Structure 1
């Protein structure tokens, strides 16, 4: 369990370069994780979402703050939703790397929705190289009840409580 909460982490001094993050994400991790990279990153994204539970309406803001990119809802059906993941970070990773992985984001989105909606949610990612963005698709099973988060982080309120 982390010693810090969301507000503390959000307000850490200093900054990390885009290069540092993508070097670890797209150069180091694939070598370390090998052919299991996609599965491990998906489940890592789900695990991270359990530590940062927010309401569905706050997901675009959180995606941006984490550095995942700009998340925009696209389509919503009864048991499926699609989101567009775009922005400079996404486009740069798609242009720069042969096989950028967005399963971390897909897992994060799936778990975030699951802990708000209270039923099973699974997700996946599809890179749109031509448009330099990613389509995140989640499929929901409202017959499979799952626990919801005990407490959701209120990003607007928590930002106002900063020292």
Structure 2
């Protein structure tokens, strides 16, 4: 029996799925109970920590990561000298926005902020803007080119 290549393993993993109920059970119920009122802030920092563990060098890599993580389809809507606007959509997000009106996307925002810091070498922060109408989430990532990160 031959060993699977890395590409074949990734394809196999992509075909695995998690029921939306199970995803929401952990994301919307369990984490809320465990983290309490600090859930949004802690998820933001958790997103930054994940990004440090998986540093990505391009926007395409970030988009691919979101897809592989099951977070949805991420697109860049606009970019200026000190700001980037992302949009995230998926069936999971539609379900979360419809079933959990107070759902937050701070995990994803923290991830985007940290990846931007990594790529640009400056302090960055991200803000989420859930849009129930249209079933999508927009993220604004901002940075100041004067706030360089020291190595």
Q: Same fold (TM over 0.5)?
A: yes
Aligned equivalent of 2:35: 33
TM-score normalised to structure 2 length: 0.85
CA contact (8 A) 1:115 1:147 kept: no
Aligned equivalent of 2:131: 128
Once the 2 structures are TM-superposed, how far is the Cα of residue 62 of structure 1 from its aligned partner? 0.6
The 5 A counterparts of 1:140-159 are 140-146=143-149
Instruction: Note the alpha carbon deviations across 1:97-143, whole angstroms, 9 max, x for none.
Output: 12111000000011011111111110010111111101111011111
Structure 1 unmatched runs, 5+: 1-6, 149-163
Length, aligned pairs only: 141
Aligned equivalent of 1:54: 56
Once the 2 structures are TM-superposed, how far is the Cα of residue 93 of structure 1 from its aligned partner? 0.9
Within 2, Cα distance between the matches of 1:32 and 1:59?
28
Aligned equivalent of 1:158: none
Structure 2 unmatched runs, 5+: 1-6
TM-score normalised to structure 1 length: 0.79
CA contact (8 A) 1:45 1:105 kept: yes
